[in-house]
């Protein structure tokens, strides 16, 4: 397994366009997170999935943002009508939650850097 994979690595888009990012987690991991990181800041939580169920969304996630994990494997994050303030690194992470509820460490992908011009 090569770890968490994110595509594309870089995306430049014009303001108002829609963009979609993909995350492929580590294959046996049942939990998947999306984070956003801006320059000089730590990653900020956006949302997470347990299998295919989206369990929590941050108030940072406006209605222009939508995330899916249709079969409990890969996930997509779509941003509609992009704004310059959406420019950031979007990080995906995955982890394994056991039946006892214990969460192992989260493994992060290398991120997708979005630039809105």
Alpha-carbon 50 to chain mean position: 13
Nearer to other proteins, 50 or 80 (CB): 50
What is the b/e burial string over 9-22, where b = at least 16 CB atoms within 10 angstroms of the residue's CB?
A: eebebeeeeebebe
Q: Is 33 in the site for other proteins (CB under 8 A)?
A: yes
Binding letters toward other proteins, positions 39-78, x by CB under 8 A: -xxxxxx--x------xx----------------------
Q: Shortest CA distance to 75 belongs to which of 52, 57, 95, 102?
A: 52
Q: Is 111 in the site for other proteins (CB under 8 A)?
A: yes
Q: Single out the segment in contact with other proteins by CB under 8 A; choices: 22-30, 37-45, 66-74, 76-84.
A: 37-45
């Amino acid at each position: 397994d090569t770890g968490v994979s994110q595509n594309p690595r870089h995306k430049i888009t014009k303001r108002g366009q829609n963009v979609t990012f993909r995350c492929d987690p580590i294959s046996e991991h049942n939990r998947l997170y999306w984070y956003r990181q801006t320059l000089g800041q730590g990653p900020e939580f956006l949302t997470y999935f347990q299998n295919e169920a989206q369990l929590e969304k941050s108030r940072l996630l406006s209605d222009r943002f939508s995330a899916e994990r249709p079969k409990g494997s890969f996930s997509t994050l779509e941003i509609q009508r992009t704004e310059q303030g959406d420019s950031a690194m979007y990080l995906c992470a995955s982890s394994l939650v056991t039946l006892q509820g214990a969460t192992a460490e989260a493994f992060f992908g290398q991120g997708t850097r979005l630039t809105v011009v």
